[in-house]
Structures are given as structure tokens and as C-alpha cells.
Structure 1
Amino acid sequence: MIVILFLLMAGAVGVMYRHAAPGPVEATRWAERATNLAQLNRRAREQLESFGWVSQERGVVRLPITRAMELVVSEWQDPAAGRSNLIARMQKALPPMPQAPAATNPPAGPKAK
């Protein structure tokens, strides 16, 4: 009896698997995906290889990756200066963190007797 139930369940799973499987992707979808991927790679390459503003109001610029690597290598010859410069640049580039609101009700604790 258990064997028959197992075979029925296996058959039902097989039928459901065949009916629920997605159909093949059409050639037009493949072409669209290839075009989108090519555009994405082109934009990424342009950003890696060009100068530009990331945030003009904060004075943050984008450098070509090769120039950025040269600057990092020369800056980190002195690790202490490199670390302090990195921290200063991060504080300048990132917006300040919002302050937590003040608690209106003090947390409940054990009551004194």
C-alpha cells in the first residue's frame, strides 16, 4: 500500500513539474537581454575610465580607476596619514547620520520599595 502511494505521489510530482516548467526564452528576449547587458557594461566602463562629479555640492569627484589606484598607492606610503585622510574624506563625502529622537518616556525598570 505504501509503495502504491509513493508511486502515485512521484507520478503527480512529475506531472506538476512538466506543467509548471517555464517555456523556452524567445530569440527576441535573448537579443533584448544581450543589448541591455552591453549597455550596462558600456556605462560601467565609461564610469571606470572617466572623470566626473559624484556630488558637486560636497566636492566629491569620480576618477579613472587607474589614476585612483596610483593615488591610493602613493597616499598609503605613510599608513597613518593615509588613514586620517581616508576618514576625513569619508566624513566629507557621506551625509551626517540623523540623531536619534529623545525618549519621551523613561524606560520602565524595577520599582523601588
Structure 2
Amino acid sequence: MKSARFRFIQTRATVLLRWIAAGLAVVLFGVLSWMVINRPAPLKVDEERSRLRRQYFEEMQSSNRIALTTYGWIDSRRGIVRLPLDKAMEMSVTLWRDPASARSNLLERLAKATVKLPPKPNIYE
């Protein structure tokens, strides 16, 4: 008799917990739905904003084009230059025909590029 009563109480408690969990799930779903419905609207892309975005995009494209097609200094103190992409690819193909010398050349350039430079002289001394 005790076991049947205990089982009834246990069953009643689990049913109550399941109803509470289901209720919380419904409330959570309702709150999330309300948040999605009442979220702020995205900014409109008007004529002025569209023009600014286009201008920034064109500036970025032109600076990228310049970086990919012209020579320039990356670090003049270390002697590191920027090459046009076509020239760099030609040099890579030429250098890597002999992989052993290309690896040693690459390691030499890596050591040169990562060497710690002496500090700049103080202008007040």
C-alpha cells in the first residue's frame, strides 16, 4: 500500500513539474516572439547614405588596385618593398625552379625581415 501511495505522489510531482516546464516554455516562446515583433527597424538606405557607401567602396577598391599594381616601400629601414602582383608571381616561378635555393633564400629574407632594429635616435640628444 505504501509503495502505491509513494508512486502516486511521485507521479503527481513529475506531472506537476512537466506542466511547469511546459508553461515556462510557452512563456519563453511568447517573450521571444514579442522581442522579434517589437525590434527596431533597420536603417533606411537613402540616397545620401548610398552615395557615401559607394564612395567608400570606390576608395577602397582604388587603394587595393594601387597596392596590387605598383611598387612601393613597406619598410625602408629593413629594405622590404612591395612588388606588383604580376612581377611577384614571375619572380616566384623563377626562384622556385630550384626548391633548395629558394628555401634558403626564403629563410634569409625571413631573418632579414624579422631582425630587431636598433631604436631610433632620440631627437633631444
Structure 1 residue aligned with 2:108: 88
- TM value normalised by structure 2: 0.65
1:33-67 CA distances to partner (integer Å, 9 max, x unpaired)?
Answer: 23212211110110100011111111111110000
Rg larger for: 2
Identity of aligned residues (%): 32
Q: More helix by proportion, 1 or 2?
A: 2
Aligned-residue offset at 1:4: 5.1
Change in CA separation of 1:60 and 1:5 when aligned onto 2, cut-off 3 Å: closer
Structure 2 residue aligned with 1:102: none
For residues 109 and 99 of structure 2, what CA distance do their matches in structure 1 show? 15
Structure 1: stretches of 5+ with no match in the other structure? 97-113
For CA contacts below 8 A with separation 6 or more, give which structure has more relative contact order: 1
Structure 2: stretches of 5+ with no match in the other structure? 1-18, 117-125
- TM value normalised by structure 1: 0.71
User: What SS does the corresponding residue of 1:20 show, helix, strand or coil?
Assistant: coil
- The 5 Å alignment of 1:41-56 reads 41-56=61-76
Aligned residues: 97
